[in-house]
Amino acid sequence: MSAEVLRIHPDEPEAELVGYVSQCVERGQVVALPTDTFYGLAVDPVNLRAVEQIYELKSRAKHKPLSLLVGSTAQGYELARGLDSAFDRLAERFWPGPLTIIVKAGSKLPLRVTANTGNVAIRVPEAPIARAVVEHLGLPITATSANLAGHAECTHARCVREQLGDKIPLIVDGGPTARTVPTTIVDLSGGGNSWMILREGAIPTHEIALALQH
């Protein structure tokens, strides 16, 4: 199998092409597309066969949950439980954008997607193509980086093709990603407005702290 490469305008995604990508995801296929930071692998998170494909083709450790892209803060609420004001402050300040927030997963998500942790990592993407696909589907999609375990993350479609071109059916070429550093990850799963930076990336820690002080 050799991946189809589909060029989509990075700033004004063509509706019919977004529809085609969405259909591929709905059929259970793994699709690579640009996100805010790196190219990611998108599948329907409740399609466990598709989720399993990601773990297999990336050789990803089974204990690592997959991050999800959502279309809005409201959709984030649908996937989570026990949210508090810390979540609202961060979402209002940094979404859409390169902030991944870990929260307790709600009952809609299969435990497999959480890697049996009971937590889910979500963000509203700024990248137009990813947002358009999520909005067209009306459902979240996975967003784990489109690279093999131990290899560098990809900031352009050519890199994805070199690493995964014989393993997935579709690569969306939306040009280079806007950033070359990963998302910042904040863990709110402890509840009680407690928070912890698991990875400092595109958003500095001091900006997170400032947002949560007010």
Q: What does pLDDT average to over the chain?
A: 94
Q: What pLDDT, on a 0 to 100 scale, did the predictor assign at position 56?
A: 92
User: CA angle at residue 106 from 58 to 182, to 5 degrees?
Assistant: 40
Question: Which pair of structure tokens corresponds to residue 77?
Answer: 């609420």
Q: Using the predicted structure, report yes or no on whether residue 109 has a pLDDT greater than 90.
A: no
Q: What pLDDT, on a 0 to 100 scale, did the predictor assign at position 214?
A: 66
110-143: pLDDT as tens digits: 888 888 899 999 999 999 999 999 999 999 999 9
Q: What pLDDT, on a 0 to 100 scale, did the predictor assign at position 60?
A: 79
C-alpha 79/C-alpha 104 separation (Å) is 9
CA 133 to mean position of chain CA atoms: 12
- Provide the whole-model pTM: 0.94
User: CA angle at residue 184 from 125 to 195, to 5 degrees?
Assistant: 110
C-alpha 197/C-alpha 101 separation (Å) is 10
Across the range 191-214, mean pLDDT stands at 93
What is the DSSP secondary structure assignment for residue 57, as one 8-state letter? Answer: H
C-alpha 104/C-alpha 149 separation (Å) is 26
Q: Using the predicted structure, report yes or no on whether residue 61 has a pLDDT greater than 80.
A: no
Q: What pLDDT, on a 0 to 100 scale, did the predictor assign at position 168?
A: 97
Q: Using the predicted structure, report yes or no on whether residue 1 has a pLDDT greater than 80.
A: no
Q: What percent of the chain has pLDDT over 70?
A: 100
Across the range 21-25, mean pLDDT stands at 98
Across the range 142-162, mean pLDDT stands at 95
Across the range 21-38, mean pLDDT stands at 97
Strands 67-69 and 39-42: unpaired
Q: What pLDDT, on a 0 to 100 scale, did the predictor assign at position 66?
A: 85
Q: What pLDDT, on a 0 to 100 scale, did the predictor assign at position 62?
A: 78
C-alpha 202/C-alpha 45 separation (Å) is 25
Q: Using the predicted structure, report yes or no on whether residue 155 has a pLDDT greater than 90.
A: yes
Q: What percent of the chain has pLDDT over 90?
A: 86
Determine how many CB atoms are found less than 10 A away from the CB of residue 31. Answer: 26
Query: What sign results for the dihedral spanned by CA atoms 9, 98, 117, 111?
Result: negative
